[in-house]
Structure 1
């Protein structure tokens, strides 16, 4: 990598990454385990040190773990959050060297070649690394060697720093599993009598390769340094921000809008290249007195069309105080969402775009969360057959699907006079005398016993659609358990 400089690699293994991450947020004393459902069984996913000391192991069923350790506390595991946390650790580790990559689901690998002098020595760098991770509450095992494979082996099986030079002497006493082999390959080698890396290195290669393939030998060569293995750092996520420094200060709204338009064109080009759309934008305006003002815009739908976004900024930009002038504009998409390329036409989507822009304009005044819509809910109970959701963060559904029609206007049940299971011929409702002209029903609806609801504790309801001689079309129901008639809705 560098002429005249020996390559050095650090491997960091976090044996309890998931439990350490959880306990950082929710400290718990005593034995603790994270569980994950696998093949219809709740199994132990990760343990803390106290639980491991009591003989619990990963992969065992949670019921067995509770039998061995009755005071075991647990919580559900979230592997996706653990993966995100590991990426945060990878970015933090770039303070030691620029080349940091992920090592599986619970480790990091770092190429520290040419970076150790910044800390004085390799021992000082490793001590600083271990100390900072310990203060953060993370258990870590660290290995340092000439190759990525040798550093991984030390981190997992013999924590320490290997001297430069002959890696075989360092790896000889370690088990063959230290070569990053699969469990099946490790078991097969052990059954053959090859339990140590030194024994594998002394085995004739040609007969071994014919029987086990080239993977074990390739892993051995990578660990010894005879075959190169690169460390690929993760690329930083794209930054959706653009900036413009002006030669002369500006203060007119037209000039600020013109500068914002130029920035929007550049930003939307970045978003289009990544097939992303902006959900939240922020314009920062720097005045000549070094004061900053910000204008935020939250969109009802992800967008990357500068012509549609620019007018939505006008209200916010018109309220800024330019002071003695603005000499710098910065535009950033603070929240983005995937927006794949779609086929568009002058027929499809025009009305939808106008509605989204209207929602955005209203949202800047009253808040996007306050603009809601009704959506169907999976329940046959009338009061639970819908839910409200913010328009900006939900999609319109195709509508309610019922075997029997439902009233447009639904209200709490209102009692009326009536007896018997058949609808009354005459009744009074809201100070009106009504006569039943036509009755359709009944439709029996039973309560959802798994959800508590005081209004449905009386039992089943028999619903009728009533067309009155006076023109009213009502939705009535009868309660057989506690005889009585009620009006709950009105059809259009």
Structure 2
């Protein structure tokens, strides 16, 4: 479409992006700076114009800054929030052209080829950009050029200057290269372009010439727009308010079909869903659904919403329903074969159903742990956020129920013939053992202060199958578990 048309690029530089973001919310008339800890020292990260006029600068020690400017107001920098803010500015800039990329951590680059005439020309477009950004409280410098490098150079070193008159630092070079060029007497881009290339390449490497060619247009440089992540949200506005549970569930079913189709196209599944029901009085109620596995089957998910919808107060009616998958995981398609009929997802679906009643985080499973001590040989983890282990390795059987050791009265190093446990007289029928277990000497466990343990499986004539141990170093008998 644009074959033969001269490429035009706009570079937006926000020199005070971090401080402007904070000052848009918190108005401060005096000197203000954001600080960031670097190499165990608190330094100025970004500051407003008032602070710069008082001699403060980026990278300055915060203690020195307070000595120079006692009235300095400071706050801690949040680079993560600044990145999100810059991403929102990128989305805003897409009103000017579809090709918008992020330049570093404080700039944007726009390919406005073929779109300037929609706003009255390039000059008018830049004026509108600048006025709208300044109106929102942002400091901005805008450069225009035939290449990305030229636009960046004008935004940072002179908006209306000729490219040849700009300093060599405008070529996006590192400080060492800029210093070396100045020592050779090469201070502007024009002087650099008139210098023989071979000596420059031998001394400074190929990156210098690449940056020069990119700025002059001899070497192309692409503008890569950021790919928007898929949004998994659907909404339904109702012509008439509804309040019956059956009507709400029918509306949710329609939304789930649309949402699951979106998920299927991206081969993804929802782990957390948020249902928002807006009433006619503008109040809204949320129903959150957490799943034990990523799902995109509308029919299976719909039944899990039933309990949450039942507890909703519809008031005078619901006129809008919104459904969003707020946490999504990969769910690729699986090959269906004729071998095997077991459904590995049934367990996770059961966990999801139980979780809707008691909370997904309250459903636990046992997982093996790397320890030969019986009470440390397992951990308890949330079932929805862990995978079952098939590698339970034990040379000797372990009881289903393990509890703290309970002493019994007995003598000798073999299980007693008769003993009393939990107010019950028991008679030994059959025994298996012993299995000697030594304590973990590298851990200080008061439960193992008696030393070695010789474990026995004891089947009593009364039907109890106990797990007992004897401590030979400090003689005594204990019951620690019971087999099913």
Q: Answer whether TM exceeds 0.5 for this pair.
A: yes
What pairs up with 1:168-247 in 2 under 5 angstroms? 168-172=164-168, 174=169, 178-179=172-173, 198=189, 200-205=192-197, 215-224=207-216, 227=219, 229-247=221-239
Give the match's secondary structure for 1:373.
strand
* Equivalent residues of 2:100, 2:108 under 8 A apart: yes
TM-score, length-scaled by structure 1: 0.68
2:456 to 465, 469, 476: 465
* Equivalent residues of 1:359, 1:368 under 8 A apart: yes
Give the match's secondary structure for 2:388.
coil
Give the match's secondary structure for 1:90.
helix
Partner Cα distance (1:490, 1:300) in 2: 31
Pairing 1:315–2:307 present? yes
CA shift in 2, pair 1:432/1:351, >3 Å: farther
Partner Cα distance (1:163, 1:175) in 2: 12
Which residue in the other structure is 2:101 paired with? 101
TM-score, length-scaled by structure 2: 0.69
* Equivalent residues of 1:280, 1:299 under 8 A apart: yes
What pairs up with 1:116-195 in 2 under 5 angstroms? 116-120=127-131, 128-129=137-138, 145-146=143-144, 148-149=148-149, 161-172=157-168, 174=169, 178-179=172-173
CA shift in 2, pair 1:108/1:347, >3 Å: farther
Pairing 1:445–2:409 present? no
CA shift in 2, pair 1:161/1:128, >3 Å: farther
Pairing 1:411–2:403 present? yes
Pairing 1:331–2:323 present? yes
Partner Cα distance (2:60, 2:347) in 1: 61
* Equivalent residues of 2:14, 2:138 under 8 A apart: no
Task: Note the alpha carbon deviations across 1:179-219, whole angstroms, 9 max, x for none.
Answer: 369x9xx59x88x9798675643333478679988654232
* Equivalent residues of 1:303, 1:309 under 8 A apart: yes
* Equivalent residues of 1:298, 1:360 under 8 A apart: yes
Number of aligned residue pairs: 418
List gaps (5 residues or longer) in structure 2. 23-34, 46-58, 62-77, 113-121
1:263 to 250, 255, 259: 255
* Equivalent residues of 2:367, 2:389 under 8 A apart: yes
The Cα shift of 1:303 comes to 0.7
* Equivalent residues of 2:277, 2:284 under 8 A apart: yes
Partner Cα distance (2:476, 2:15) in 1: 70
* Equivalent residues of 1:418, 1:424 under 8 A apart: yes
Please give the root-mean-square deviation of Cα atoms over the aligned residues, in Å: 4.6
Give the match's secondary structure for 1:316.
helix
Give the match's secondary structure for 1:179.
coil
Give the match's secondary structure for 1:48.
strand
List gaps (5 residues or longer) in structure 1. 21-30, 35-43, 55-80, 131-141
Which residue in the other structure is 1:378 paired with? 370
Single out whichever of 214-223 and 389-398 deviates more from structure 2.
Answer: 214-223
Which residue in the other structure is 2:69 paired with? none
Which residue in the other structure is 2:292 paired with? 300
Partner Cα distance (2:386, 2:108) in 1: 41
Partner Cα distance (2:356, 2:255) in 1: 21
What pairs up with 1:352-371 in 2 under 5 angstroms? 352-371=344-363
Which residue in the other structure is 2:65 paired with? none
Partner Cα distance (2:412, 2:188) in 1: 88
What pairs up with 1:84-95 in 2 under 5 angstroms? 85=81, 87-94=83-90
What pairs up with 1:15-94 in 2 under 5 angstroms? 48-49=42-43, 85=81, 87-94=83-90
The Cα shift of 1:269 comes to 0.8
Partner Cα distance (2:188, 2:406) in 1: 82
* Equivalent residues of 2:103, 2:109 under 8 A apart: no
Partner Cα distance (1:50, 1:164) in 2: 30
* Equivalent residues of 2:232, 2:262 under 8 A apart: yes
